[in-house]
Structures are given as C-alpha cells and as structure tokens.
Amino acid sequence: MDEPLRAPTIDDVRAAAVRIEGEIHRTPILTSRAIDEIVGMQLYFKCENFQRVGAFKFRGASNAVLSLSDEDAARGVVTHSSGNHAQALALAGRRRGIPAWVVMPTSAPAVKRKAVQGYGATIVDCEPTLEARETTAARVMEETGATFIHPYDDPRVIAGQGTAALELLADVLGLDAVVAPVGGGGLCSGTCIAVHGENPSVRVYGAEPEQADDAWRSLREGMLIPVGQADTMADGLRTSLSELTFGILREHVAGIHLVKEAEILNAMRLIWERLKIVVEPSSAVALAACARLHPELAGKRVGIILSGGNVSFPGDALL
Amino acid sequence: MDEPLRAPTIDDVRAAAVRIEGEIHRTPILTSRAIDEIVGMQLYFKCENFQRVGAFKFRGASNAVLSLSDEDAARGVVTHSSGNHAQALALAGRRRGIPAWVVMPTSAPAVKRKAVQGYGATIVDCEPTLEARETTAARVMEETGATFIHPYDDPRVIAGQGTAALELLADVLGLDAVVAPVGGGGLCSGTCIAVHGENPSVRVYGAEPEQADDAWRSLREGMLIPVGQADTMADGLRTSLSELTFGILREHVAGIHLVKEAEILNAMRLIWERLKIVVEPSSAVALAACARLHPELAGKRVGIILSGGNVSFPGDALL
C-alpha cells in the first residue's frame, strides 16, 4: 500500500452503478413544500435512509465486494468499523456468499454487534484503540487472506457511494447544487465525482458539524488536519478525511459549510416532522447546511443526500 | 338530520377516488423483510403518513368538500376537531377556495391551532366540552350557512377514506387480509367497503387499543357502546363509533383486535427503526394487532393502513 490511491473517475461510478444495480434499492427522492418555504430553496431529498442496512454505505461495500476476483473474494473481506459500514460489508459479503470479518472494540454497543452478526459476519474483538483495530485487522488478513475494505479510503467504495448522486441527477433535472455530509469523505467524494462527471456546472457542497470540522480546516489550510475531539451528535461524521478523500474534495467542492449542534437537531426534527421519515443526525447536517447556504442558493434547485436512518430507539421487546 | 345516514357503497368509494385524484398523494406501499420475519406474515404498509397534512384524513375531507354543490361550497364548511381532520378540512377548503371554520377548545395545543390557521381556516374558540363544541358549530352554521363536515360520521368522508384501501388493493395483488385502526371508525368503515366491494373474500380486521375498546365492546354486545376513559397514547383512536360506522363494521369486519400500550410502543419503534418512517401511535396499533393475529394470518399477505405521521417533537426553533 505504498503508492497513493487513485481517485475513481465518473466511469468508475457508472461501472459501479451497473455492478450493484441488482443489489441495492433505487431509493426515492422526496420533497416538501413546507421545508422549501422555510429554507427558501427547492430541495430534493435523496433518501438513503431507505437503502439496505439503512444507509448509503451498502452501495460502496457492495461495489467493493463485487469488484473482487473470484479468487480474492473466496478468501473473504475484513474491515474495522462499528458503524453502518460494518453492517453494509457484512450484508455485501453474505450476498456474494463469502466470509466477512468485522473488527470491533469490545466497548461497541450490543445492538451494533447483533446487527453485524445478524448479517452473518464474524466479529473479531479488539481493544478500543485505533492501533488495536489496525493490528487486529492485519492479523485477520494474514491468517485468512481476506481483503481489507476501508469504510472510505478506497476508490471502489467511493465509486459506489457516488451512485446515489448519479441516481439523483437522473431523477431530478436541472439541479443547481448538491449537498452531502462529510465524515471520512467517502460519500462527498463519490458525490463530487458523479456530479461533476455528469455536469461540471452543478455545485457540490460539503456539510460538517462545527464539532467535527476537520474537512473545513483541512481545505482552509490546504493540508490534511485530522479531527480532534469530535463531540457531535452526528456520530457518522466524527471520522477524519484520508489523503484520497481530501484530494478529491479539494478539487471539487464549492465549499464546506459548518453547522452547530442545535441546527442539526432542528433540521432533524424538520425532516422527521415534515417528510415523515427517520433520518440519523448525519443526514440532518446536510439540510442544516442548506439553511446556512441561503442566500447563496436562494430559489435554487438543490439536491440533498440523506445519508441514512439508523437511529436507536429505547427498548427492544419485539426485536 | 333525522333520517339515518346511508352507508356509502363501493361505487361511492370509486367515485371518490376519481373526484380526489388530483388533490391527494397516491401514497407508496413499503415492505420490510425484517418486520415480516418478526411477525411471520408478508406485510404491505400503505403509507398514509405521506399523505397531505400527514394523514388519511385529507382523503375524506377532500371528498366531502368536492362533493358540495357550488352554491353550498360557497358558504364554506365547518367542523369541530382538534386533530388531523381539522387540518385536512382546512386544506381541502383552501384548495376549493372556500372558507373553513374549525371549532376548537381553548385548551387545544398551540401547535395544532397554528397548523389549522396555516392552512387558512378560521378557528372558533369554545369551552372544552362536547356540548360547547356542538353548540358553537351549530352557531357557525346558522350564521354562515356553512356545511358541517363530521370527522367520520359522514358517508362522503367514509367513502374518501376508503380510497386508501382501493389503492392498496390495486398495487398489491392477492392480499388475504387488510388491517386498519379503529377510532371513530371512518377509516375502517371505508376500508371495509372498498375491500369487500373489490373482493369479498379478503378479510378486514379492525385494530384498537385496549384502553379505547369501544368498537370491540360494541361488536361483542351488538349495540353501540361509547368509549369511556380513553387513556391511550394512540390519541387518534380515543373517539367512539357512530351508528353509521358501527353498522358498517358489524357487517364487514372479521374481528376487532385489542392491543396493549406496550405493544403499540413496540410496534411504533419497529416501524420507525425498520421502515425508517415516522408514524403516529394510531398507525402502530394496526401492526401490533397483526402480531396478535398470528397464527390466524401466519404466512399470509396482509395489508396494513398506516393512518398518519403527525407526531410532535420537542422544540420549534426552525418552524
């Protein structure tokens, strides 16, 4: 892994769309007059909360798993994640009929461990440190020959995530801008490549919590700055960019917009109340950023990628 | 109003469907492998939470308003309700360009008053008693000549509500049963007439909270028994049947199934977590009843009418 990763191209995104077509849901696009009035734009919500495993992550994981040769695939896949990527990779592995290992800290919530196991993956425990995760994943690779699939620092994963924007552009004509949340940058990078590959004049914005503003800082300073203490309710956005996603965002985005925690909560409530759908805080970050982008986007046609809908509710009697 | 109201026929429901076609949303039908596994049936969720004003009530209100002669319509419409029917009638009135009055107790939550006003209706205050609501509505009718549109004790309203089931049957072939929640009985009555008009062999079940079991008691005793203390979180189901809806349910339903408050909460969480949609507790009652209907419906194809998605979340900064 010494040579730098190559950014995927629009052709990679298009190939991913064909590759994963039978695997993913083509998610709907919702609109709300009430939200449009409040925000002052025509908003089109791409609902990846309705994606399999409840998040866009299944697109990237599927594309990565289906990109493997039969020989490589047979040895399985491995990742370290306790979030949506872990479930996504578990399901993608099961769909291809290959083993999947997920390295997870012993401190991860039981509900997440259960979900990953429910999709048929094997959990490999590790201590809750980055170093332990990496050495444990390396050990699994060594012992099994499994291929490591990173949650975002992987061109195959980024190309897969870009397919959501590809569908959005196909379904909504004449978009002026697209807004996507930024965590590790996989979704936003894929969105950049898909959108600009289709139409370079459509602006792409990243949306980030003030409490996890590494992409905003990195772009401002022109160098990769890892996130510090990421104290945000948008738990999917607490990760830092990689060199690969940083490079893509630097080339493509019209700007990263920061939002406060109260704005995230407001935007989430607005989506729940008006669109009647369940989204996770990370998704709401993109809508909150839109409100910030007024008047820059006043009256414009703006696509928003709602990244997912995995929220835990109290109790578990029926589950 | 001395002669008894006539139950609508399947032709009335079909005519309503044509009449309101341009007004309503044709709502989607969602499915979930995970919920199917848990409940042990193939479930098809008719998502009236995505209906305009967030509930099926807009169907009945629209049909009633559009059924009026131009002369009657010009004098406006009036109702007493602080729930979804009030908002539905307000919007239906505005769409036809006629005045709408909503009699509402001074104790009604500000958010509900605001919603009704937002749709352009005039709120007429009254004391929080049934008598005050009725005399106030009668006064408005006398002063304005407006037509009273009852939330459920009205054949035009019932026919309108039945259009949801008509769409469900058109979109999902081979259903064995349909389950709808029962409050005043308008939705369930309309569902009965639509379903049996299309296919008499499909069973229709009503779903009711144990804490508001007037339909269950009424059917058991063969006489209309009003609800007593209705202490249920399913606030849309606290009302009692009318003679009209009681008669329709008695003729058509295969049974009313009661569910406990804890079951409603579990079912609501299951819908939020797995379908990723926001539904109100009344909707969850229907899914909870399905779980009770196992093994009677084991493995069957069952349609569930999700009545609406109007839930209040804390805070209101953006709204």
**Amino acid (one-letter) located at A96:** R
Kindly determine whether residue B313 and residue A272, on different chains, have CB atoms separated by under 8 Å: yes
pLDDT at residue A207 greater than cutoff 90: yes
Both B185 and B293 in one domain: the answer is yes
Q: Residue A141 domain-assigned?
A: yes
Does one domain contain both B142 and B192?
no
Residues belonging to chain A with any Cβ–Cβ distance to chain B shorter than 8 Å: 28, 38, 49-50, 54, 262, 265-267, 269-270, 272-273, 276-279, 291, 309, 311-315, 317-319
Diameter over CA atoms, chain A: 57
Rounded-to-integer distance, Cα B41 and Cα A305, Å: 33
Q: Are B78 and B149 in contact (CB under 8 A)?
A: yes
> Do A315 and B38 lie within an 8 Å CB cutoff?
no
β pairing state of A203-209 and A255-259: parallel
Residue that has been written with the tokens 């202490």 in this structure: B231
- Of B22, B7, B119, nearest to B63 by C-alpha is B22
Residues in chain A with CB shorter than 8 Å from the CB of B313 are 269, 272-273
pLDDT confidence of residue A237: 94
Asked whether the beta carbons of residue B276 and residue A54 sit closer than 8 angstroms, the reply is yes
Report percent pLDDT > 70 for chain A.
97
DSSP B162: H
Mean pLDDT value across residues B119-139: 94
In whole angstroms, give the CA distance from residue B170 to residue A26.
Answer: 22
What gap in Å lies between CA B315 and CA B29, rounded to an integer?
Answer: 31
- Flag whether pLDDT at B2 surpasses 70: no
Residue-wise pLDDT for A235-291, tens only, equals 999 999 999 999 999 999 999 999 999 999 999 999 999 999 999 999 999 999 999
Residue where a domain stops, chosen among B148, B165, B180:
B148
Q: Answer yes or no: do A38 and A67 share one domain.
A: no
pLDDT of residue B314: 66
Total domains in chain B come to 2
Kindly state the helix (H) or strand (E) to which residue B98 belongs, with its residue range: none
What are the residues of chain B with a beta carbon less than 8 Å away from any beta carbon of chain A? 28, 38, 49-50, 54, 262, 265-267, 269-270, 272-273, 276-279, 291, 309, 311-315, 317-319
Task: Find chain B residues with C-beta within 8 A of A279's C-beta.
Answer: 276
Domain end residue (candidates: B125, B148, B171)? B148
% helix, strand, coil for chain B, step of 5 = 50, 15, 35
The predicted model scores a pTM of: 0.92
Quick one: tokens of A210?
């003030």
Per-residue pLDDT tens digits for B184-210: 999 999 999 999 999 999 999 999 999
pLDDT-derived band of residue B319, with 50, 70 and 90 as boundaries?
very low
Give the least confident one: A124-133, A141-150, B47-56, B244-253.
A124-133
Judgement on whether residues B111 and B206 belong to the same structural domain of the protein: no
CA distance A224 to B99: 60
Report residue A318's pLDDT band, with 50, 70 and 90 as the boundaries: very low
A318 is a domain residue: no
Extract the tokens encoding B304.
Answer: 């569930």
Q: How far is B50 from chain A (nearest CA, A)?
A: 7
Average pLDDT of chain A, as a whole number: 95
Which sign, positive or negative, has the C-alpha torsion A122, A125, A129, A131? negative
Q: Chain A contacts of B52, Cβ < 8 Å?
A: none
Mean pLDDT of B33-53: 96
Contact list, B312 vs chain A (CB under 8 Å): 273
| B137 and B162 assigned to the same domain | no
Residues of B in contact with A43 (CB under 8 A): none
Check if the beta carbon of residue A250 is closer than 8 Å to that of residue A11: no
Cβ atoms A6, A246 nearer than 8 A? no
The model's pLDDT over B105-124, given as tens digits with 9 standing for 90+, comes to 988 888 889 989 999 999 99
Rounded to the nearest angstrom, the minimum Cα separation between A150 and chain B is 26
A4 domain residue, yes or no:
no
- Residues of B whose CB is below 8 A from A266: 315, 317-318
Nearest to A104 by CA among A75, A73, A77, A83: A83
Query: What is the DSSP secondary structure assignment for residue B21, as one 8-state letter?
Result: T
Helix H, strand E, coil C: the string for chain A is CCCCCCCCCHHHHHHHHHHHCCCCCCCCEECCHHHHHHHCCEEEEEEHHHCHHHECHHHHHHHHHHHCCHHHHHCCEEEECCCHHHHHHHHHHHHHCCCEEEEEECCCCHHHHHHHHHCCCEEEEECCCHHHHHHHHHHHHHHHCCEECCCCCCHHHHHHHHHHHHHHHHHCCCCCEEEEECCCCHHHHHHHHHHHHHCCCCEEEEEEEHHHCHHHHHHHHCCCCCCCCCCCCCHHHCCCCCHHHHHHHHHHCCEEEEECHHHHHHHHHHHHHHHCECCCHHHHHHHHHHHHHCCCCCCCEEEEEECECCCCCCCCCCC
Q: Residue B266 domain-assigned? A: yes
Q: Provide the 10 A C-beta neighbour count for residue B2.
A: 3
Shortest Cα distance, chain B CAs vs residue A15, angstroms:
28
The DSSP element (H or E) to which B60 belongs, if any, is helix B57-67
- B318 pLDDT more than 50: no
- Neighbouring-strand partners of residue B294: none
Kindly give the pairing relationship between strand A122-126 and strand A100-105: parallel
Kindly provide the b/e burial profile for residues A212-226, where b requires at least 16 CB atoms within 10 angstroms of the residue's own CB.
Answer: bbbbbbbbeeeebbe
pLDDT of residue A314: 66
What span, in angstroms and rounded, lies between the C-alpha atoms of B276 and A50? 7
Q: How far apart are CA B202 and CA B193, in angstroms?
A: 11
Cα(A300)–Cα(A294) distance, integer angstroms: 10
Residue A319's pLDDT is what?
A: 35
Q: Max Cα separation, chain B? A: 57
CB-based contact B263:B288 (threshold 8 Å): yes
Burial of A32 (0-12, 13-18, 19+ CB in 10 A): middle
Residue A112 lies in a domain: yes
**Main-chain phi, psi angles of A47, to 5 degrees:** -90, 75
Q: What does the pLDDT read at residue A4?
A: 84
How deeply is B281 buried, as exposed, middle or buried, from its count of CB atoms within 10 A (0-12, 13-18, 19+)?
buried
| Same-domain status, A222 and A125 | no
End-to-end CA separation in angstroms for chain A: 42
Among the partner-chain residues B277, B314, B318, the one whose CB lies closest to the CB of A276 is: B277
Token pair for A290: 């839109």
| B291 and B169 within one domain | yes
> Cβ(B236)–Cβ(B307) under 8 Å?
yes
**Residue with more model confidence, A298 or A1:** A298
Mean pLDDT of B58-82: 97
> Is A314 within the bounds of a domain?
no
Task: Kindly state whether residues B300 and B219 are assigned to the same domain.
Answer: yes
- State how far residue B299 is from chain A, nearest Cα, in angstroms: 18
CATH number at B286 reads 3.40.50.1100
Q: Does residue B205 sit in the same domain as residue B121?
A: no
Mark whether A33 and A88 lie in a shared domain: no
DSSP single-letter state for residue B121: P
* Domain contains B314: no
Of A113, A148, A183, the residue at which a domain comes to its end is A148
Residue in chain A lying closest to B115 (CA): A34
Is the Cβ pair A277, B273 closer than 8 Å?
no
B140 within a domain of the structure (yes/no): yes
Note whether A309 contacts B276, CB cutoff 8 Å.
yes
Range of the domain at A187: 10-56+154-306
What pLDDT sits at residue B316? 53
Residue range B214-241: mean pLDDT, rounded: 94
Candidate from A50, A276, A309 with C-beta closest to B49: A276
Contact check, Cβ <8 Å, B273/A311: yes
- On whether both A187 and A133 belong to a single domain, the answer is no
On chain A, the residues whose CB falls within 8 A of the CB of B49 are 276
Quick one: B120 and B261 in the same domain?
Answer: no
3-state secondary structure at position B10: helix
Residues for chain B: how many in total? 319
Residue numbers in A near B314 (CB within 8 A)? 269
